[in-house]
Structure 1
């Protein structure tokens, strides 16, 4: 299709229908206009690469925080600061927590500014935050803002569009594409720790942040690729007046919260993710204290490698008919929770590496399935805000988990209790998710929903073509909720 999408720049207009409009190619048939995302082509594969790099650059930095943590913790300890473990872990926890907590804002901005501009803005903020962090490396409180909150804001604004844009260009293999994209964070998590340690050892923490800032410019450049297709229509309600309530209704999509299965999924995730980030922050210090003459970066790198394999594998499985993506995500939480509980009792480094490999595989399953589940439950047009709101709800427990683990460690001088508590939360969250299976979505429509996209029957397609010709090129698509 040659029709170019035009994102609405007047979403707040009082007298406009607030839909994305495009002029169809006169030479194309209505069937071509209604066939859905292209599932290939230069632009689609460019989007795939851009999303891959965005995920890799963002989470390669976030997941490698344990390298920075050991430096900050020692710095605070040398300054005789109480609870140095908890305060040092707070910086990294704020980064992950802010990334997820502000995801609803990212979802809103994608409807207001568009996917492309939101992603570019996020990359620019993340780059600025790392540059500012390089000047305040001796002040942990300042790093809580520059690296914790500010980088988290930029990551949030870039991350949600990088997942939502995939549904504009892929449908048949959406799960596999999500798996490929999220492998980016695994690849970069393998690369980042040794690179960060090399920079810290030879040039200092401040130059390490500056190098990361140079890399992060690439996120803003990738965001320029996120041009939406005219096939995924986001319909905004009319503003009846100039009140603040009417403004919010124009910008914020409330449709997702009318879906009971989505509500149950979104509310169970914060429970499951309370202890999720604890091993990423504390595993290096745990290894340093319990093992000698070993590569203390190896387990984290093993998690990253097998996480990539898990993302690709479970993303592929999510596309198969009859596969329940939510059940796969539950299984991943059960395995991760169990291995986290066992972790502090391991005294063999080889066994620890083997467990890290297992944790990585099912970590990949959890990550790769977020996008497909959101598309399945809420449809393509609502996916950005569905992902954003779920991650926003998960942010507080993600932020609190590592500092609480650090606090318990400072009291008991052992990681047994912190890791056990961190492992219990995924088990509880996965159990709560069983409630989703008791609520089957009923639909009176004749469409069949697959990967968040609507496939019309031939009769419905003919009716849609008639409706299209009568609307002067303005298309309204209602996704099944």
Structure 2
């Protein structure tokens, strides 16, 4: 059975030891083009995809305020937690389905998966516009369905970068993820204007039109010719396909295990300020721009992504330590937040939170490369985000529930700030894990990876490591 070409995006130039019919030889992996019109078109499309999706997700506090007020006026109990759950489900579903998105990328290809994601998300927003105050329906349409589409488009938008960039991959990742920061600045005032003059239903329809653009961007995600291989007839079976896209190698890496299990703890309270900060400001300040702190977080988060994306490309940089520092700062500032009684100080805290928010996001990809190598980076990131989905989803509703009991955001924000402190502390366990002395490190643009011995049988397109087939894809 003939198949479509599969994407292979190993970013490591290191020469792999390849065994063919019992004879060892070296094989050079082709480099990504690292520039050109096509490469920069892909970067812009990825930028827009990240911006459109996370601009909407991060600005949910605008919709939350309207929805929560409506539920309260209807006399519905726990209106805060019910309204918060809609947006939290979106973020949680986006991350929870990242592993599935990675699998679909291996089966359908990067381009088709991204187009499918954009189409599903567009349909979700369009359906939501007809049920704007029906929370039960919004849980599915705006929460799960839109999150599903965002996940299917988000993972390919990052994975495709490895097909076109290598030397400055960290910086390019930073540029692309700045899209969400820029759109988070633009979206809140636009969303408020639409709600005020046209209603929540027409806002969702406008967002559906914007989101359709992500499906168009998906068509640009064509894998680079140098990164495409074609499987042979003999190896093309469902069993070998499953092995090529799902593997357990990353979980044999103790350092990765500690990192992947620490991140969900650190991210438990991450989305709480994004959802509740607007309501917090309305309760504690008068005659101020309630969107300004969220916009400040977005602006400096973009700056942080660029700065720390650039640093991640530098040899000798301790990326895990930088991410720990980021979580410590975010945690402390979140704890301080409810005790601030001057709006100027609140804005300053938001600026600081944004810088280190961008830092931890920009470091996710380079850390995955460092711990797992290029062959496993995409699935390593997908699995970590999948584990983080539940904490991300339950954090804001729990904060809303605590607020509904105490009528104060002090305890919710303090608890939200403690979780990144605990997660960052758990990451010290990574440093206690010893690397076997027989494993040499290869440094590629500052990313230390272990050389992988692979064996090829029948077809050079499927690489076998320790007997398991493995598709090479990267974020």
| Shift, 1:382, TM fit | 2.2
| Shift, 1:7, TM fit | 2.2
| Shift, 1:472, TM fit | 8.5
Is 1:262 equivalent to 2:260 in the alignment? Answer: no
**Distance change >3 Å, CA 436–CA 230, structure 1 → 2:** farther
Is 1:432 equivalent to 2:426 in the alignment? Answer: yes
Q: Give the Cα–Cα distance (whole angstroms) in 1 for the partners of residues 60 and 432 of structure 2.
A: 39
**Distance change >3 Å, CA 235–CA 337, structure 1 → 2:** farther
Secondary structure of 1:89's aligned partner: helix
- The two structures have a TM-score, normalised by structure 2, of 0.87
| Shift, 1:383, TM fit | 2.3
Contact 2:338–2:413 under 8 Å retained in 1: yes
**Distance change >3 Å, CA 211–CA 410, structure 1 → 2:** same
**Distance change >3 Å, CA 177–CA 294, structure 1 → 2:** same
Q: Give the Cα–Cα distance (whole angstroms) in 2 for the partners of residues 471 and 240 of structure 1.
A: 7
Is 1:132 equivalent to 2:127 in the alignment? Answer: yes
| Shift, 1:455, TM fit | 10
| Shift, 1:252, TM fit | 1.4
Contact 2:235–2:458 under 8 Å retained in 1: no
Q: Give the Cα–Cα distance (whole angstroms) in 2 for the partners of residues 277 and 141 of structure 1.
A: 21
- Please point out which of 306, 312, 328 is paired with 2:306: 312
Aligned residue number for residue 420 of structure 1: 414
Decide which moves more: 254-263 or 306-315: 254-263
- Please point out which of 366, 373, 381 is paired with 2:360: 366
Contact 2:316–2:446 under 8 Å retained in 1: no
- Please point out which of 146, 149, 169 is paired with 1:151: 146
Runs (4 or more) in structure 1 with deviation over 3 Å come to 31-35, 229-242, 244-251, 440-447, 451-457, 470-481
Superposition pairs for residues 66-105 of structure 1, below 5 Å?
Answer: 66-105=61-100
- The two structures have a TM-score, normalised by structure 1, of 0.86
| Shift, 1:246, TM fit | 7.4
Is 1:381 equivalent to 2:379 in the alignment? Answer: no
Aligned residue number for residue 222 of structure 2: 227
* Structure 1: stretches of 5+ with no match in the other structure: 10-30
Contact 1:372–1:451 under 8 Å retained in 2: no
Aligned residue number for residue 468 of structure 2: none
| Shift, 1:43, TM fit | 1.6
Is 1:302 equivalent to 2:296 in the alignment? Answer: yes
Contact 1:375–1:452 under 8 Å retained in 2: no
Is 1:282 equivalent to 2:280 in the alignment? Answer: no
Q: Give the Cα–Cα distance (whole angstroms) in 1 for the partners of residues 199 and 78 of structure 2.
A: 24
Q: Deviations over 1:214-254 (max 9, x none)?
A: 00011111111222235557899999999x98774354132
- Please point out which of 332, 347, 362 is paired with 1:353: 347
Decide which moves more: 182-191 or 166-175: 166-175
Aligned residue number for residue 400 of structure 2: 406
Aligned residue number for residue 343 of structure 1: 337
Number of residue pairs the alignment of both structures matches: 449
- Please point out which of 29, 50, 54 is paired with 2:49: 54
